[in-house]
Amino acid sequence: MRLLIAPGVATAAGAALLLSTACAAPAVDGLTLPPGFHIEPWVADIPNARSMARAEGGTVFVGTRQGGVVYAVRTGAGGTREVLTIARGLDMPNGVAVRDGALYVAEMAKIWRYDAIERHLDAPPKPVLVAELPAEHHHGWRHIAFGPDGKLYVGIGAPCNVCDRDKEDFATIVRMNADGSGREVVARGVRNSVGFAWHPRTHELWFTDNGRDLLGDDVPPCELNRVSRAGENFGFPFCHAGTIVDPEFGRLGRCADATPPVQALGPHVAPLGMLFYTGRQFPAEYRNQVFIAEHGSWNRTHRIGYRITLVRLEGNRAVSYAPFVSGWLGADGSVSGRPVDLLQLPDGSLLVSDDKAGAIYRISYSAS
């Protein structure tokens, strides 16, 4: 892809990179959606695009797992979008969140804050250290988000495929004040959550969780979970998906004492970002329903995932689980994209990040 540098701007960190009209857009022709829905490239080249967060002024911030870079996407007159580099040289800066005009970035072992970020996109300020996190690379790509309680939530994945590190507060979701103080565990027994959101009516925390590997192609399923009380235990490492006793660590607890998932997802689909749809652009039947980005399996005999799925709810009960966008996984097993995160725009459309294609797509709806 060819990049045009915005006139008068240097190519250092914070420099605006204007996407050329000569850029090759990621293929979307092979993707399938329900009738009336459309998908198109929103940013055609943003390497290793992962978690996303939108600031009040409309800037979309994008973390990465590889390359150590955090990006900002600024939309100008006529819909022109500029991609700017906010930070370089970080260790898996997957997580991004915005609050009170500040950008929060979670790399593996630290959370940083960039104050008044939208006023300084071309020359980002020196970051302020908010919190230190465990320095374990296995499952060390953090997801962060601010909850309706004003607290900053972060997933701390287990530093292994399966192990007992509970006493060190691994395999948890924790929350803290915006300044990093008052840290507490919200959920335990969570192998690796890289996506969570709050129910728009109850404000309860829901999250995706990646099931353990090496028990076979079809065991265990991945999970969509709901936290009903602080400190709730979801079973890892002794129990998976509420019913499957772990052959190595089952002695550590009982499945009867672990909270089962609201919905068992496909085995090894690697569910990452999720959201409750609250917009008005999609038909009313989608409101307050759950969309999940399934990144896709990495060691299953036959690949699975590589899609956006929809979990329909009645209250807190899941009543269906089905593909919403598919086609990144070809019939021959080839993979053209791996969705990571979902972000709702003010007009009710959705953004989807794809770290394989290095792109962000926009999903919209039109009845005509």
Strand boundaries in 210-316, DSSP class E: 223-226, 232-233, 239-240, 244-245, 263-264, 271-276, 290-294, 307-314
CB 173, CB 187: distance < 8 Å: yes
Averaged pLDDT of the chain = 93
Q: Which amino acid is at 118?
A: E
80 lies in a domain? Answer: no
Whether the predicted pLDDT of 104 surpasses 90: yes
pLDDT tens column, 190-210: 999 999 999 999 999 999 999
Whether the predicted pLDDT of 17 surpasses 90: no
Cα dihedral angle (261, 146, 79, 44), rounded to 10 degrees? -50
**Total domains, the chain:** 1
| pLDDT the model gives residue 16 | 42
The pLDDT confidence band at residue 368, using thresholds 50, 70 and 90, is: confident
**Structural domain for 46, as ranges:** 39-50+91-365
Share of the chain above pLDDT 90, in %: 91
What are 271's two structure tokens? 């569910």
What are 228's two structure tokens? 């009903």
| pLDDT the model gives residue 24 | 58
The pLDDT confidence band at residue 27, using thresholds 50, 70 and 90, is: confident
231 lies in a domain? Answer: yes
Q: Exposed e or buried b for every residue in 5-19, given b needs 16+ CB within 10 A?
A: ebeeeeeebbbbbbb
Share of the chain above pLDDT 70, in %: 93
Whether the predicted pLDDT of 231 surpasses 80: yes
CA 251 to chain centre: 32
Whether the predicted pLDDT of 100 surpasses 90: yes
Whether the predicted pLDDT of 4 surpasses 50: no
Within the chain, what is the greatest distance between any pair of CA atoms? 64
Neighbours of 260 (CB within 10 A): 16
100 lies in a domain? Answer: yes
| pLDDT the model gives residue 14 | 42
Q: Which amino acid is at 300?
A: R
77 lies in a domain? Answer: no
What CATH number does the domain containing 197 carry? 2.120.10.30
pLDDT tens column, 277-292: 999 999 999 999 999 9
CB 244, CB 219: distance < 8 Å: yes
| pLDDT the model gives residue 210 | 98
The pLDDT confidence band at residue 18, using thresholds 50, 70 and 90, is: very low
pLDDT tens column, 294-310: 999 999 999 999 999 99
28 lies in a domain? Answer: no
1 lies in a domain? Answer: no
| pLDDT the model gives residue 35 | 97
What totals of helices (H) and strands (E) does the chain contain, helices first? 0, 29
25 lies in a domain? Answer: no
The pLDDT confidence band at residue 79, using thresholds 50, 70 and 90, is: confident
221 lies in a domain? Answer: yes
DSSP state for residue 368 in the 8-state scheme: -
pLDDT tens column, 109-168: 999 999 999 999 999 999 999 999 999 999 999 999 999 999 999 999 999 999 999 999
CA–CA distance, 327 with 339 (Å, rounded to integer): 11
CA–CA distance, 153 with 138 (Å, rounded to integer): 19
What are 104's two structure tokens? 């929060």
Angle ∠(352,303,190) on CA atoms, nearest 5: 65
